[in-house]
Each structure stands twice: as C-alpha cells, then as structure tokens.
Structure 1
Amino acid sequence: MAFRVMSFNVRMDTEKDGDNRWDCRKEVVANIIRSQHPLVFGLQEPHKHQVEWLAGQLPEYAWVGKGRCPVVFGIGEEHCEYNPVFYDTTQLECSSSGTMWLSDTPWLPNTKFAGSAFPRIATYARLKRKDDGREFTFVCTHFDHEGEEPRTRSAALLVAKLQELSGGTPVVLVGDLNAGGGRAGSSSSSSSRGRGSSSSSRGSSTGSSWPGVVPSPPVACGASCPA
C-alpha cells in the first residue's frame, strides 16, 4: 500500500514574526500542500484560524483534531496550537479519530509529562481507502522542545497506545519531534526505513532533522506581504 503523506510545521500566528508572519506566508503554505497533493497530511503549531483558513483553501480535504491547552493558559481555543490531520475525502473515509495528551493521563485534557514545558498532543485518524477498502492509522504529533525524558516517554506512550487504537492496521506517524535522528524520541518511535528530511533536499537544516533520501525535488517558494 503506497501513498503520499506530508508533515508540515507551519508555525503559529504571531505578529512577532514581522514580514514572516502568517498573513505573509499563508498562500505559500497552501501552494506547497497543493503542489504535493498528499493523500493525508499533518500540521504542527497552527492556531484554529490557521487550520480553518487552510481548510477553506483545500476543499477536497477534511480535518480532525483539538487544541492542546485552552484551559491551562486561559487563552481560549482560538489561540492554542493544534496537530490537525487532513485527509483527501475524494479517496479516504475516516472511521474514527481523536486527540490524546502526551502524559500519564492521555485522555485528560491539558495534562503533560513532568519536565515538559507545555502540554503536548497527538491527533490520530483511522482511515479507509475508498478504492480498495484498505485501512491505516495516521498520527500527527509535536514533542516537547526542552526535555529529553518527556520526548522519550511521549514516544513510548504513542507506541503503546497506537497498538490499541490502530486495530492492527498499518500506522503512519508524522510530526515535529524536536530531536535529530538517533536522539531521544526520534529513535524510539521510528525505524531506519522510509525516513527523510527537508534538509536533504534543501541543503540546509530546519533545526532538527536527520540524513535521508527525499525523492521529490525541493519546492521553490516566494511570497509578498500585504500592507
């Protein structure tokens, strides 16, 4: 069963980014996704209005997911980060989905492992291909950026929970693990097969990546910022 998937940290919407803020880059983000046309993709860091804007630009896709911590910080769901899963509704059906918190109590919202800077989540979707009925489970996550122990525990949690949630279907896990290859978190949740990074096609690192083979060519991007 072969198909194209995508993982994309689109970054939160913050005015601190100046000329790189969301309004200046959102068209580029949508165009990159259109150009790759993945069967399913996961995003990291978007606020709800970013997710909804992209959904409006990509009408063939539906999405699932929840915000990670609206109660803890009192900021409201509109401004907390999501790990949404988007899937192509012309080719896929979603039979179940959910969001778990990377913690000792994964079904309790806003919880986290000790040592984590923020609550972290994983969004999963059980998907079925319309053409042949074959199923798989797609997961999108974003590990903690500070502690190695929380990343290791997050990886172990996902391995354990996905054995239950996947129902024996193949699992595709994507995300921003905040760890290079071989470091805590990345090595626990992946094997040496099928791994690639943006840096191998771009020629430069995005901060946390590992060597790999990326068959698609690099995407050239440009944007103009509205006044």
Structure 2
Amino acid sequence: MKKRVVFVLLMVFNQIHSQELKVMTYNIRLDLASDGENSWSKRKERVADLIRFYEPDIFGIQEGLPQQVNYLDSILVDYKVFGDGREGGNKGEHSSIFYKHNQVELIEQNTFWLSETPNQVSKGWDAALNRICTFGLFKNKESKHLFWVFNTHFDHMGEIARVKSARLIHQKITQINTKNYPLIIMGDFNLEPDAEPILFLSNHYLHSKKEAQLIYQSGGTFNGFAFHKPIDSSKEIDHIFITKKAFEVKKYAVLTDSYSCKYPSDHFPVIVELNFLK
C-alpha cells in the first residue's frame, strides 16, 4: 500500500514538474576591452556561474559577440544554442537562445531583422544599428507542450525603429503562430514599461511582471556597472511577455547578484517561472 501511495505521489510530482518552465532574458554586455575591470575576460565566469545557479530551462542573451556565445556554449554543457549575428551568419552581436536539451527539443528556428526587409541583413527605419529577433519552436519532452520563444534587442536610439520593431514582431508572430501555441517574447527593449511600443505589446500579450504571483526585486534592470550607485528604478528596459491564457506566472525576479563590488553585466537578468495552463 505504501509503495502504491509513493508511486502515485511521484506521478503527481512529475506531472506538476513537467508543466513548469523557467525562462530568463540577459543582456550580457558585449566584449569590449575598454570596459577595463568589467571586461568580458574578467567577468565571463561570473555570468556562466549565475546562469548555472538559477538553471533556466531557456534563456536568451543580447549583445553576445561570437566569442561570448562560443564561451557560454562550451561551458554550459547542459544547453544547446542557436541564432544568427545581426551582421549575418556568425557576424556581430547575437540575440541567441540557449535551451536545456534534455528537457526541451528544438523543432524549428530562425532569425529576422527589425527592418523594412526583415528577411535580409538590414538596418530599419531610424535605427543606429542592425537589430534582430531570433525565435524557435520548442517541445517540452515530458509534457509534450509545443511553444514559441522570441528573443530580441531593440535599437537604443531610433524611436521610430522601436515602435516599428514591436509591430513587426507582432506581425511575424501572427504569421508564424497559426496554431496558437503558447508563446514567450523576451529581450532588451531599451524601453520603460510606459513607452508606447511596450504598451502596444502589452495590449496583445501579458507582461510577466504584472501577472506574477510572487515578485522578487522589482524595478530597474540596467545598472551600467555602477555598483556604488542606487539602481534607477525607471530603467526597467528588459522584459518578458507571454501569450494570454497560456501560462500561469508563478514567480518574477530581477536578479541583482554581484561579486567583489561588481556586477556580472551592465544589465540584470530577468527570470520568470511559468506553468503551462493546458
């Protein structure tokens, strides 16, 4: 009898666990020698350790140059990665998506440019730089749920570009997600929550922070490596959105981890714990 009860409890636990999905977005700051004490070579292990500790099932990075993507790929052995650079192929900054290959299966993937010509390497509207969105269709190996993840990095200068980029991503999702699978949009949007493009996305999707049952460390996500200065709460520019009626948001957090009076990146990662609703 006791064995049967234990078996049933294990079945229930596994079923609940298989419904869970932990997702993180993290601007890791590009590799610049001019960052001095905050250069990539001096903090890359801290970035990797943070990711390993929090164990997201899927995480998207921004500003990852090829050598940074390769480093994380080599040291985070439980993960696989995909995504093109914004200059095409493996060139330039990546908005790569990493995923735990023993938990989720990648079904398809692609990258498009945030511009009037999204299917080719290009700079859009009034943007200062080429910008991209990398996305993938995944399958949870235990629960068999299919779901999409989009990871992006909006331009830091072009106001029109940020408005158009939000609308382009929504347009692409409408074209791609014809079966209405659960969907996650994440990234560095270079926009505060009350900016028009964020409000636009919030009208079509749910902002994970607003739906969270438990919030830890809410506020600014950009620190500028300024450890001894208060975080500007208005600089909440990294966001995670989810489709309506698809997920329960159990937890939301801005991870303000530090070491030796330094931050691993000039952004804090944002992490959410989700449950599939059906």
Q: Counterparts of 1:1-227 in structure 2 under 5 Å? A: 1-69=19-87, 77-78=90-91, 80-109=92-121, 111-167=122-178, 168-190=180-202, 191=205, 193-195=207-209, 200=218, 204-205=231-232, 208-209=235-236, 215-216=252-253, 218-222=255-259
Contact kept in structure 1, 2:218 and 2:253, CA below 8 Å:
no
Contact 2:216 2:254 survives alignment (8 Å): no
Residue pair 2:86, 2:93 contacting (<8 A) in 1 also? yes
Deviations 1:33-55 (A, max 9, x none): 11110110100001011001001
CA contact (8 A) 1:14 1:21 kept: yes
Q: Which amino acid aligns with 1:42?
A: G
| In 1: Cα distance, 2:52 partner to 2:154 partner | 26
Rounded to whole Å, the distance in 2 between the matches of 1:27 and 1:209 is: 25
In structure 2, what is the equivalent of residue 73 of structure 1?
none
Q: Is the 8 A contact 2:216 2:252 kept in 1?
A: no
In the alignment of these two chains, the number of paired residues is 217
8 Å Cα contact 1:201/1:218 also seen in 2: no
Structure with the higher strand share, 1 or 2: 2
Change (3 A) 1:6 1:218: closer
Partner Cα separation in structure 2 for residue 159 and residue 127 of structure 1: 19
8 Å contact from structure 2 (residues 85, 94) kept in 1: yes
Displacement of 1:218: 4.4
Q: Structure 2 length normalisation: TM-score? A: 0.71
Residues 113 and 217 (structure 1 numbering): CA distance in 2 closer, same or farther, change over 3 Å?
closer
Residue by residue, what CA displacement relative to the aligned partner does 1:73-105 show, whole Å, maximum 9, x if unpaired?
xxx945x10000001101010110000000111
- The structure whose RCO (Cα within 8 Å, separation 6+) is larger is 2
User: Offset of 1:133 from its aligned partner?
Assistant: 1.0
Q: Verify the 8 A CA contact 1:199 1:206 in the aligned structure 2.
A: no
Per-residue deviation at 1:112? 2.1
8 Å Cα contact 1:198-1:209 kept in structure 2? no
Given that 2:216 and 2:253 are in contact with CA atoms closer than 8 Å, whether structure 1 keeps it comes out as: no
User: Does the Cα contact within 8 Å between 2:116 and 2:125 map onto a contact in 1?
Assistant: no
**Which residue identity does 2:37 align to in structure 1?**
D
CA distance in 1, matches of 2:127, 2:254: 36
CA distance 1:183–1:217, shift in 2 (3 Å): closer
Deviation at 1:224, TM superposition (A): 10
The question of whether the paired residues in 1 share the 8 Å contact of 2:84 and 2:96 is answered with: yes
Cα deviation for residue 2 of structure 1 reads 3.7
Q: Secondary structure at the match of 1:46?
A: coil
Is contact 2:219–2:236 with CA below 8 Å preserved after alignment?
no
The letter for the 2-side match of 1:220 is D
Amino acid at match of 1:90: N
Distance 1:135 1:77, change over 3 A: closer
Distance in 2 (alpha carbons) for counterparts of 1:35 and 1:90 = 17
* Equivalent-residue separation in structure 2 for 1:214 and 1:132 (angstroms): 20
